[in-house]
A and B are shown apart, each in its own frame.
Chain A
Amino acid sequence: MCGVTIGVSALLLSVYLLIQRAMERQVDLVVETEIESLREDYRSGGRKRLIDVLDKRTDDWGRLGAAYLLIDKQGTALAGNLPAWPTMSNSVGAWREFDITVNEQGRAVNHPVRAAVVALDGNRLLVGTDVSERRRFTQRLRAMTFWGIGLTAALIAITGWWFSRRLAARVRAIAQACDSIISGDLTRRLPMGKSADEFNQLTGTVNGMLDRIEQQTTAVRVTFNSAAHDLRAPLYRMRARLETTLQGAVVDGTASRAVQATLDDLERVQRTLATLLQIAQAEAGGGAMPPERVDLAQMAIELGELYALEAGARGLTLRVAAAGPANVNGHRQLLAQLLTNLLENAIKYVPSGGGVDLQVTANGSKITLSVSDDGPGIPEMSHETMVLPFRRLERDQGAPGSGLGLSLVAAVVRLHHGQLELLSTKPGLRVSCSFAAAA
């Protein structure tokens, strides 16, 4: 935009300068031709003839706007229409510029004159021409050039502003659409503009890409749901069969223990499946339920109370520091699941005698929920991989659990556009999740 303004200004300026130069050159050419012709007259007829020619020419003043003056060595005027040798305002080489006062309809008017002086055997001849017309024209041209530059700049500024506003509006609309796609609404498409410009071309391509992604996601979700359903049906039958078997009178102790153990395993499989489904739900945008206002401080207090006894029974101290309200917009059950996962991890891995701190702090527009413990922690190099499904530390391979806890936490944090941070506190681990406070 700025470049265009500068370009147009430079163009107009150079046009102006070229015209000005050409006009000056033209004036000089006329004077030079006149001088040449007078010099010819002098050469052929001497001073006498020159004076005659000049006397004849001076009658034409006013029509031609020409000024002449011939003086001898002593400075006496011999011929011409100038009363006296003028005081030069400006002299470059042979060229002189000065003003003469002319009486026009009873008024004294100043006329700028550009003249050249030549020496003819001791006499000096001045030939000039009235340049007021030319000066006026140059002035007008200059004014027009500057107006032109000003108007161009204004016009460019206005169109630029209009374009950038239009552009900003489109970019905003696209950004909004992208935001809602990021938060899981895969049915959303980028808005198409009215004109068939490059933007629309790009929007069309991106929308095509989104169609493809949605198709794939739907396919994955449908597959996942059917798989979950198809797995659950046999699990359900197995469980029913085993329970019926247990209730039967003919089962002896060993068989009963085996059946019970199988039932426990089934329970674990079911849990893993349920957690996977929940991760899938969180990744897919939280499902059909609209987000609601959830007070994380209140939730922390209630769940802290729920877990405090269990923690106490394992020799741990669970401290809750949550000053409410700390409202976020979100999915209550998924947030509760996030919190229980963090608490259960801490309670599971911190040895007896340790402490667990559950904190919820509201800091302006940010709400942070954190669970810190003084347990064995997670080595820093594993922080990133621990949030992936089924990742567990080698030392915990024997402990019960599916390795999905932190994945679910990460998925829920992502769903709520929050930040998840794992921090080694040596000893211990601090997991903190920050969310935007509800307006």
Chain B
Amino acid sequence: MQILLIEDDVEAASHVSSGLREAGYTVKHCVDGATGLAAARAARYDLLIVDRMLPQLDGLALVAALRQADVPTPVLVLSALGTIDDRVEGLRAGGDDYLVKPFAFAELLARIEALLRRASGDNRHVGTLRVADLEINTLARRVTRAGRNIDLTTKEFQLLEYLARRVGQIVTRTMLLESVWNLQFDPQTNLIDVHMSRLRQAIDRDFSPPLLHTVRGSGYCIKDPGATA
């Protein structure tokens, strides 16, 4: 997987690059907007990570220019501007996700993975989602495991669906708050954990093997033990 990182803060960029390389990605780094835009047009990347404030060409202008040129590569916008509007502006300009600095590296990894999967289009499936013997009917909003009905609240169902559409991927707490509760800021308390332990009780307590896993320092993940990862 090829990632183009356009970021003027060289030290920060080198940390991100080395982290990403460690995670198995190939990273090219550009330090300003103009070079970044040229690079993004010249070669095909799987993902762009664009800092919002760049010399020569502002990050959002760069994304807009790319979209104008019909380059569909998913873009993750990084920004030191953190108000809610900045985020919405970033997404409107054509960014696919927006992450406010400073962020936990795990958060960045999870979001990159989510964007890459989304680009390959494997989470848009409508109907029944299956993870091992867990079945989630997204239309009837019914969940069964090993043929037994599991009662879930609306929010529990939404959490499960979000995770089940991303089998094997790490989903962070922030991603869950954004998608299930439509909150674009982090509450102070670790609210998601209590909800996830509820959900785990519902789908894993009376069954084996466990499907819902906590990933330390990152978030959560639903894994299909039978599938080859």
Contacts and interface: CB of A to CB of B under 8 A. Distances in A.
Interface of A: 225, 228-229, 232-233, 235-241, 243-244, 247, 266, 270-271, 273-274, 277-278, 281, 287-289, 302-303, 305-307, 309-310, 312-313, 331-334, 336-337, 340, 344, 347, 401
Nearest to A284: B83
A159 to B, nearest CB: 50
Given A233-B12, A237-B12, A266-B102, A289 B80 contact: no
B168 interface: no
Contacts of B195: 306, 309
B19 A244 contact: yes
Interface of B: 9, 11-12, 15-16, 18-19, 22, 53, 80-85, 88-89, 100-105, 153, 155, 181-191, 194-195, 198
5 contacts: A232-B101, A289-B84, A302-B155, A334-B84, A336-B182
Contacts of A333: 84, 183-185
A288 B191 contact: no
B185 A310 contact: no
Contacts, number: 112
Contacts of B198: 309
B159 to A, nearest CB: 11
A344 B185 contact: no
A289 B88 contact: yes
Nearest to A345: B188
A240 B81 contact: no
A59 to B, nearest CB: 108
Contact of A309 (B9, B82, B88, B194): B194
A310 B191 contact: yes
B55 to A, nearest CB: 14
A218 to B, nearest CB: 16
B187 A232 contact: no
A289 B91 CA distance: 13
Contacts of A278: 83-84, 185
Contact of A336 (B16, B103, B183): B183
Most buried by A among B80, B100, B104: B80
B204 to A, nearest CB: 17
A262 to B, nearest CB: 12
A337 to B, nearest CB: 6
Contacts of A313: 194
A266 B101 CA distance: 12
B83 A244 contact: no
Contacts of A244: 15, 18-19
Contacts of A238: 102
B179 to A, nearest CB: 13
Contact of B82 (A228, A305, A337, A340): A228
Given A281-B85, A289-B85, A305-B155, A237 B191 contact: no
B103 to A, nearest CB: 8
